[in-house]
Every structure is written in structure tokens, then in C-alpha cells.
Structure 1
């Protein structure tokens, strides 16, 4: 009965978002109320559960998400992303141009959220393609693959950061495993898949593209942008801090607690996601602003613009947290865990599968990942599955088969001037490849670690 109620709730969510065109956050709160009532939760407890879900989700995520958005915007506005792209492309040369685009997009993708990275990189891709005489889609596929992989697998992006909290996963380990899986995944879905796509839809690779929707682009003079080294270091600074703290904990061979020596506690403190993002933001304010003689008012204007861009996404994530909390407090998570007790089906596969189905239905990777995590978390705990790998598997499932209900599908179609069929053969396929290869990577690592 519990799963039927959840199924009805998801159908209602689909109806409200796709047919009624109601805001996703409002839709999630309404569905959370309906499902909570259907599950027989005490009426006096329902609003408290929803508030706890929103607060718990955003309390964990607001610092990382907010500081990350500002950091990415500072790097972009200062020309740091432009410097990273142009430097790598010039160093790699025409023969390895796809690899250059992949590496540049990967680095930039860590600092910038997917849509921002796409809008920022596409004009650069168009310019480089024109200069070298290659197809824009030839460069666009590896760019999109790298941005999508970082969006789905690596903190501080919304979905992996949020579900790390639900699964109680160590962010540093998510980063370590995420990198191990993300690198080969982006190569397979990017440069390697491009060769297949060229045979499937050869006409798509002759399109000229269309970036008029992006409006007037900011023009950078390379000599006025931050150096390649400082741009890359600023972009990767939060990842470095979190990874170093995890590496230190692995090196000493014990979990750091309040009883640990002060040095251990300081290192762990600096590597916590919120603190790492705060230090990285302060570093970016200096390297991308003060060091370049920018006024603080100008720097803070970039910060304000960044926060405005993510405000609705924060609310949507909060709404996803409310739905997740209703599933947990209503006993659905425990019910699902009970169904699979003694089953040979890995929680990694179940988390991926639920996220994949929700992604196809809802379009939003973040909402799909949050809802799947709420359902699978009790089963993961009961089976002792590695939480960091659960984050990767669930994130991978949330990327599969992007189609007409996903904004990314239409952005890719319009910018590269593709038909619906060509978009399915390029964008939808590369997203699906990332999803399947990501799951395979998580399953392989699960056998090793």
C-alpha cells in the first residue's frame, strides 16, 4: 500500500509540473502533504515533517551551494574560465582538441553549475571551432559530457552534495571515488562517443549553431585575465581542501573525532564542505577580485547576481528534502528496505534504478536523486553498502535519458541548432552513457573497496 501511495504522489507531481505548469517547489510541497496524509501520518506532525525536511536539506546544503555559486561566478566574471579554456586548447593543439575541451570543461565544471558552465563555454567552443575549421558539435559533445559528469558525480554540485547528506557519506570520499569514475566516464561519453555519433547523425556535425539566445557576450583580453595557474587553483581549491582532509584521515588510519589530537581536528575542520567552501570563496575574492584591483562593491555585485540565479534551485532542493522526509517519517523507506531484505539486488542498482525512473518521468536530476535517496537510505544502512558509492550510483541514475522534459535537452538542441532526432542521438545518448558507465564504475569499486 505504501508504494501505491508514493506512486500516486509521483504521478501527481508529474501532473502538476508538466500539465498544470505549477512551480516545482510548490508542487513538491503539495505532493509531500498529499503523500503524508495518504500514509496516515498524524495531521499535527505533517507540517513539522515538511519543515524539518526543508530545513535539514538546506541547512546541510546552503553554505556549500551558496558559496560555490559565488565562487564560480567570480571565476567566470574575472575571465578565469576563459583563460583555462584558451590556454589548454592552445597547448593541446588541433589533433588533441577534443581532449583539451574535455579537460577545460572538467575543471570549469567543478567550479560552475551545469547551466552556467554551458552558457559560458559554448561561445568559446564556437570561436575555437571556427578558428580550427572543425564542427562545433565535435567539440560540444566532450564539453557537455565533462560538465554533466561533474554535475552528477562531484560535490559541491547540488545533487551529489545533497544526497551525501542523506546517505551520511564522507564528502571527501565521494570526491575521491567520483574522480576515479568521472575521468573514464567523461572520455567514453565525450571523445569516444563522438565517433559513433558522427556515423549516427552525420548531418548534425555540419550545423553552424545558434547562440543568439545568449545575448551579448563579455569579451576578454587574455592579458587582462588571471593566469592559468591561479584560475585553475581557484576553481579547484574547495576540491583540494576536502580531498586533503580525507587523504589525511586515510593516512592516519582512523576516523577523526572530538577526542582526536588538535592537529587532526583542525585538518578535519578545514576539510568540512562548509568551511572548505568559505575558505575557497575568500581565496577567490582575493585572486579574482582584490588582486586584480577590483572594487569590493564590484566583487559583491557578482556575488549578489550569483545568489539570485540559484535562489529557486535552493527552494526546489528544499522541496525535495520535504518529500524525502515524508517518505522517511511515513515509513516508506523502512518498507522498501524490508522488501529487499535477503534480496541479491544491490542497493547501488536499486538507487540507480529508482533515480533513473524518476529522471525520465520528472526531468530534474536533482529531484530524482533526492527522492531516490530518501527511499533507498534505510536499505543502504541495513546492508552496509558504502555511502560514498551510493552517492555516485544514485547521481548516475539521475542523469539517464534526458529528453523533452529537461531544460538541458532544449538548451543543447537550440545552441547547436539540432533537430529533435539529432538531439536524442547526441545529448540524450551521452547522458545515458554517463549514467550506465557511472553505475558500472560504482559496482566495480564496490568489489574493490
Structure 2
């Protein structure tokens, strides 16, 4: 088949997948598999080869990141149940003060809190941000809203164990230790610079409180620490014995949570990330030590973190609380795993169709052009579909086959794809609406704090990735 035909059919497959998901409301997993089937058959891979490629692509990425995603989500669920998020944000306020709260929150949410499912993290932290906004000043809501939007989205795609970073690393075969170190080097300056830029433009009149904010929350509004749905607010207790007993149990649980050291709650997660980083360093330095190789393996490191979090969680919320958190975590990880696997299937089919060889002829040995192209592809896909992880996986999968020929480290493609997938988060994104409603913004306000804010982070991240490409 000619190169032109392969390019056309690949474009049709991606466009059809987008239309199925956006226009016809087909489940993204089904849409991705249908797009993979069309691409394989239209590029003459044959029925058998197409099915094998789809299933192998799904299986390969599950081998790479399946357990990692599950372990990370379960750790985050236990930490959420233990009230660790609320306590960490309150600690940041007491240590750094209102002036620097947007920056300290941005760094914390984009790094240490990335094991927590993004919607849950947002629902828990939003009421805290609402209460703290007046302490920051007239631009408090705008600054905290954009800091949260930037940190949530950057963290999920750049920082291990964020599900987006795990998925993209799996597609490209990037060692998790390398992804952790490079992602950390990228995400911290990105969120700080983007938050600084947005704070500057807000103070110059970009934010109009009378038009961009809506005061729909009472002063004492505060969602439950483990809500059954986004934005669900606590109901007024009924004066009966069952409700009184539940209130007493809740008070006891809250007291137990306060007794558990915040550092102790996060210690297992921090230990697992440290072990992964040590594993990466020993590999780069070519240090051969069986113990370090074992505990530095990402699967073992995150398993150690999960076991430690479970033990600490029992002391904080009891065995029943841990079991409830694990049940919730399994529900959350299931949909993430399916979407990640289906994205791996499409990426594998794109590679098998020969797109990589064709694109390889369009680029010189320079790393700049491919990185900009993968950013643009991810940005366009995200604008259409609204999924950060899906757009990053698809864009990375398209250019992954040519990385060796260009001498380009796959981690740079992963980071560039992640940066592009952040561009123009808007009304197709569930996170957009959660940030708009839970932080008391109008749609106009959310377009400024979320869409513009995260897009600024996307462009800054691309620039930093290009700088990193000089040294990697």
C-alpha cells in the first residue's frame, strides 16, 4: 500500500474514533477498538494480523503498567479515606501562609498527591480552596482555581504514579524510574511558572470577580471526605438513633485520623517513589546490586508502598475503613485500565500499519521537529476528545516507531505528548465542569482559570521539553 493511502487511512481511523466518542457518545474503549480494527483492515494487515496486533497492544501495555496503576489508585484511595488530603492542604497553609498557598498547593497536588484519582482529589480539595480564597485577596478564587487546574492536569500526565504518565510510559517503553525523574524535573517548574504567569495576568484585569465568580456556597459548606458523587454536599442529619450513632462513629473516626501523623500517612508513598528513583539511578550508573534492583523495580516499590499505606491506614481509619477504600479503589482503577489498554491497542495498530516509517522520512536528525509535531497531534486530539490520557497515548504511539532512527529518547516523546494533551481543556472535559462548579466559578471564569491556565502550562512544558532535549 502506498504511503499516501496509509496516511489517509490513519487520519480516517483517528477522526472516526473521535466522532464515535464525541458525536455518537460511544464508550471511549469501544471507539478505540473500532478505530484500531478499521486501521488494521484498511491498511491490509489482514484479519488475523489486525486482531493479534490489537490484543497484543492491549496486553503489552497491561504488562507494563497494569499493576502500577492498580497499586497507585489503591494507595490514593486509602489516603483519601484517611483524610490525608485535607490535612496536607491545611498544613501547607500554616507553613507557607496565604501568599504562597497557590504555589505550594500546585507543587503538592502535582507530585505527592498524584496517586489519588483526579476527580476525588478535586472534590476533596475544592471546599478547602473555597475557604482559603478570601485569605489570599480579591484574586484568591482565580489564583487557587488556576493553580488546582494546572497541578491536577500536569500531575496526571507527567508525574509517576499519575495514571496518564504510567500509560504513556507503557506505550513508549519508558522505564518508570526515568519517567519519574524527568517528569519531576518538568512538572515542578511548569506548575510554578504557569501559576506565576496566570497570577500576573489576573492582577492586570484579566479576572472580573463580578462576572467570573458565582457565590453559590454557604460559608460552612464542606463535602464529605469520601463523597458518593462529584460535588455532593452533606445532608442535614435526622434526629434519630441511627443518625446519632453514625455521628458518634464519624466523630471517633475523625479523632483517630487526627492522631495519625501526616508524615506517617504519606511515608509509604514517598518511600515507593524514592525506591523507584534509586532504581533508575543505579541503572544509569550501571550499579549491579540484587537488593537495589529488586526494591527499585516499580512494581515492587509500589507494592511496598501499598502494603505500608494499608498498615498505616488501619491505624488511622481501622480495618473496615481500609476495606471500603480498597473497594472504591478497585472500581476507579477498572475503567482506567480498560481505557489505557484500548489506547495501547490503537497505538500498536498505528505502528503496525507503518506510519512510523513514513513520518521518519519527514524529519531530519533534529529532535525539535518530532517533539513539536507530537505536541500538536496531542493538542488537536485533546481539543476534540477531551481526554488527556487518550490524546497523549495516541500521539505518542504515532511517533514512537521513529524515535530510535532519530536518536530521540522515548521519554522526550512521552513528555511532549503529555504537554500537548494539556492544551485547551474546555467543555468536553469532566475536570472543567468539576472545577467550574466546585470552586464557584461562572463558565466564563472557568474558561479563564482552567482553559487558559492549563494551556499556558502546556506551552511552558513544551518549551522546557525542548530545552531538556539538548541534554537528554
Q: Once the 2 structures are TM-superposed, how far is the Cα of residue 314 of structure 1 from its aligned partner?
A: 1.4
1:218-245 Cα offsets, whole Å, 9 max, x none, are: 8845962531221332342332111122
Give the equivalent residue in structure 2 for 1:273.
298
Change (3 A) 1:175 1:342: closer
Change (3 A) 1:327 1:103: closer
| Aligned residue among 354, 362, 367 for 1:339 | 362
Match status 1:200 vs 2:206: yes
Match status 1:179 vs 2:184: yes
Q: Once the 2 structures are TM-superposed, how far is the Cα of residue 179 of structure 1 from its aligned partner?
A: 1.5
Output the CA distance in 1 between the equivalents of 2:305 and 2:257: 24
Output the CA distance in 2 between the equivalents of 1:280 and 1:33: 39
3-state SS of 2:361 partner: helix
Match status 1:71 vs 2:69: no
Match status 1:447 vs 2:470: yes
Give the equivalent residue in structure 1 for 2:345.
322
Give the equivalent residue in structure 2 for 1:246.
280
Give the equivalent residue in structure 2 for 1:157.
162
Give the equivalent residue in structure 2 for 1:292.
316
Q: Once the 2 structures are TM-superposed, how far is the Cα of residue 44 of structure 1 from its aligned partner?
A: 1.9
> Are the equivalent residues in 2 in contact too, given 1:348–1:393 (CA < 8 A)?
yes
Q: Once the 2 structures are TM-superposed, how far is the Cα of residue 380 of structure 1 from its aligned partner?
A: 1.1
Scaled by the length of structure 1, the TM-score of the pair is: 0.90
Scaled by the length of structure 2, the TM-score of the pair is: 0.86
Change (3 A) 1:344 1:178: closer
> Are the equivalent residues in 2 in contact too, given 1:83–1:227 (CA < 8 A)?
no
| Aligned residue among 194, 198, 207 for 1:189 | 194
Match status 1:237 vs 2:271: yes
> Are the equivalent residues in 1 in contact too, given 2:379–2:420 (CA < 8 A)?
yes
Say what the alpha-carbon RMSD is for the aligned residues.
Answer: 2.4
1:220-271 Cα offsets, whole Å, 9 max, x none, are: 4596253122133234233211112223334xx32x6xxx4xxx23212212
| Aligned residue among 385, 399, 402 for 2:422 | 399
3-state SS of 1:215 partner: coil
> Are the equivalent residues in 2 in contact too, given 1:185–1:434 (CA < 8 A)?
yes
Gaps of 5+ in 1: none
Match status 1:29 vs 2:52: no
Q: Number of matched residues?
A: 438
> Are the equivalent residues in 1 in contact too, given 2:212–2:441 (CA < 8 A)?
no
Gaps of 5+ in 2: 224-229, 235-249
Output the CA distance in 2 between the equivalents of 1:352 and 1:425: 22
1:111-152 Cα offsets, whole Å, 9 max, x none, are: 213222111211221233357776333322222222222112
Question: Stretches of 4+ moved more than 4 A in 1?
Answer: 130-134, 209-213, 217-223, 341-345
| Aligned residue among 398, 401, 423 for 1:378 | 401
Output the CA distance in 2 between the equivalents of 1:394 and 1:378: 14
Q: Once the 2 structures are TM-superposed, how far is the Cα of residue 107 of structure 1 from its aligned partner?
A: 4.4
Q: Once the 2 structures are TM-superposed, how far is the Cα of residue 206 of structure 1 from its aligned partner?
A: 4.7
